[in-house]
Amino acid sequence: MAQQYGFRASNNLSDVLNRNACLDNLGIDGRDLALLVGTSDAGVTEGDYQNIIGLTSNLEQQIVALASGASAILPPLLNKASRFGDVFTGSILASGINNDRPYYDAANAIYGPSTASFFSPANASGFASGAEYKLGPVFADTTTVSGLSFNGLAPAWNDYFVRYKEYLSLTEDSTSTVKKTPLYLAPPSSFSSNKVWLDAEFSSFVQGTGGEVEQWRDVLGRATAAQLTAVNRPTRTLNLRNGKPGVVFDGNNDFMSLGNLGTLFPSAATLIVVAALGEPNTRGDADYNLFSTLNNAAVRWRAGGTSGSLGAFTSAVQTGFPSPMPANGTYIFTVRASQALGLSFRTNSLETATRSNQFVQQITYAPGDTYVIGANANGAAGFFNGAIFSMALFDAVLTDKELRSLEEYFAWRFDFVYDPDRSQSVELENKQPLETEGGVPIVLG
């Protein structure tokens, strides 16, 4: 497949630099050009006649052929070459990826950034042979390179991606040096179904002088959790886990309201919450409500015993659900709900409670109208004692694979997973270091 210049195919840069070759490609006899110098366009004069009697061929035939070629070829070229790239539907086969810009070698052969971003797979009828030239990049839904297939959409890069412990290994062939590039975990906002994401590190806040949180804003500015009453505001505290902040609720009267977001989750919802129970205030919390959408004072994630009375995305309080629920520790909790699914609850990536609608309807999905964090109803009871690090809401039932990706994203950021690139001390649940008999803390990494 050759890059082409002029009205005839040429894949050699030396042809382009050679003026005689260019004239030959255009079908013009170069010997005639010198004779036309000084010819008048105001009418035939004796001087004009003396110039044109020496023509080696019929000038009119040359011009007519050239004009006809220009009329036939230039309009299609306008649709085939654009600095914005080509638009098409189909497969692209890339036989080589070279430099970041076109270049030519010692033999004057021309190379593009890659065969895929250089040529279009569309019909090349506008040329004598070869393909259509493209100046822009290539975007494809499906890309296959050396047996590696990708199906789906690649999310745009942003600062919320986090570098992961795994690396992608690349090699040109079996004898080449293996090169590695880091992989990154995608944030909740990379999912089109994500509607709300509150994060203690990435969100913006309106705070008082002591760190009291009046407004906790969605990372992308789509929603805001607010508390207008000063004594009911939680506090944003720095360096709680892995050097990252958390929003701390006192367990007495702190809570925040997102208002009525029911229209965002009309038929399905997934909620992911990263929270520490009790810490850093006191040890544990046996009666708490992390989040609810149902305006009912009875709702709890844990109601004094080992089970809860969940009031999130259902039309009624789910007494005895979920069960069991912990009173201590730091967790990634996940709730999924829809009329087709029913209700599912996960703790640290493991499904711990379900109420399925597959065979017998056990719950009725309802988006709710009272979205509250850290207490039930509008701060009537069930005050949460502990820290919330992040909370993400989606308007779909995420698949197990999607959930695993997001749960790993939060686990990696908030120190749930061993990181080989840094030292991590081994701690007990009470935050005291695990030590050897000689009193030396045990450190991984």
pLDDT in tens, 323-344: 999 999 889 999 999 999 999 9
Residues 273-284: pLDDT tens digits? 999 998 888 888
Q: How far apart are CA 440 and CA 445, in angstroms?
A: 15
Cα dihedral 92→98→103→106 (10° resolution)? -120
In this structure, what token pair is assigned to residue 271? Answer: 């909620």
pLDDT of 400 above 80 = yes
Range in 6-15, 34-43, 330-339, 349-358 the model is least confident about: 6-15
Query: Is the model more confident about 104 or about 51?
Result: 51
**Whole-number average pLDDT of the chain:** 76
- Torsion angles phi and psi, residue 19, rounded to 5: -65, -35
* Three-state DSSP class for residue 313: coil
Cα dihedral 201→205→209→214 (10° resolution)? -130
pLDDT of 112 above 60 = no
Q: How far apart are CA 427 and CA 52, in angstroms?
A: 98
pTM of this prediction exceeds 0.85: no
pLDDT at position 166 is: 78
Q: How far apart are CA 292 and CA 378, in angstroms?
A: 10
Q: Quick one: how far is CA 355 from the chain centroid?
A: 32
- Block residue for tokens 């996940």: 334
Computed on alpha carbons and rounded to an integer, the radius of gyration of the chain in Å comes to 34
Confidence grade of residue 128 (pLDDT, cut at 50, 70, 90): very low
Q: How far apart are CA 126 and CA 77, in angstroms?
A: 7
Range in 12-26, 195-209, 292-306, 406-420 the model is least confident about: 12-26
Range in 39-43, 45-49, 418-422 the model is least confident about: 418-422
Handedness of CA 173, 174, 175, 178 (dihedral sign): positive
Give the amino acid at 254.
D
| Start-end of H helices in 31-88 | 31-36, 46-52, 59-80
Q: What region, left, alpha or beta, does residue 108 occupy, with left being phi > 0 and alpha being psi -120 to 50 degrees?
A: left
Query: Is the model more confident about 180 or about 428?
Result: 180
Confidence grade of residue 116 (pLDDT, cut at 50, 70, 90): very low
Average pLDDT over residues 111-138: 41
pLDDT at position 377 is: 81
Query: Which residue from 371, 391, 377, 374 is spatially nearest to 250, judged by alpha carbons?
Result: 374
Average pLDDT over residues 387-406: 95
Q: How far apart are CA 301 and CA 308, in angstroms?
A: 4
pLDDT of 390 above 90 = yes
Give the amino acid at 417.
V
CB neighbourhood size of 270 (10 A): 27
pLDDT of 411 above 60 = yes
Under 8 Å between Cβ of 94 and 41 = no
pLDDT of 371 above 80 = yes
Beta bridge partners of 291: 373
Query: Which residue from 293, 316, 287, 439 is spatially nearest to 378, judged by alpha carbons?
Result: 293
Under 8 Å between Cβ of 393 and 270 = yes
Q: How far apart are CA 348 and CA 332, in angstroms?
A: 5
Confidence grade of residue 209 (pLDDT, cut at 50, 70, 90): confident
Exposed/middle/buried for residue 362 (C-beta within 10 Å: 0-12, 13-18, 19+): middle
pLDDT of 302 above 90 = yes
Handedness of CA 425, 430, 434, 437 (dihedral sign): positive
Query: Is the model more confident about 240 or about 51?
Result: 240
Q: Which residues contact 289 (CB under 8 A, 6 or more apart)?
A: 299, 300, 301, 311, 372, 374, 375, 376, 381, 382, 383, 384
Residues 72-92: pLDDT tens digits? 666 655 554 444 444 444 444
Under 8 Å between Cβ of 289 and 376 = yes
Cα dihedral 145→147→151→154 (10° resolution)? -40
pLDDT at position 268 is: 98
Under 8 Å between Cβ of 85 and 136 = yes
Q: How far apart are CA 181 and CA 160, in angstroms?
A: 18
Q: How far apart are CA 276 and CA 139, in angstroms?
A: 43
pLDDT at position 21 is: 67
pLDDT of 125 above 50 = no
pLDDT of 101 above 80 = no
Range in 25-34, 137-146, 302-311, 427-436 the model is least confident about: 137-146
Confidence grade of residue 41 (pLDDT, cut at 50, 70, 90): low
Under 8 Å between Cβ of 275 and 302 = no
Residues 252-269: pLDDT tens digits? 999 999 999 999 999 999
Average pLDDT over residues 358-376: 95
Q: Which residues contact 209 (CB under 8 A, 6 or more apart)?
A: none
pLDDT at position 178 is: 82
Confidence grade of residue 379 (pLDDT, cut at 50, 70, 90): confident
Under 8 Å between Cβ of 337 and 321 = no
pLDDT of 402 above 80 = yes
Confidence grade of residue 137 (pLDDT, cut at 50, 70, 90): very low
In this structure, what token pair is assigned to residue 320? Answer: 């005895």
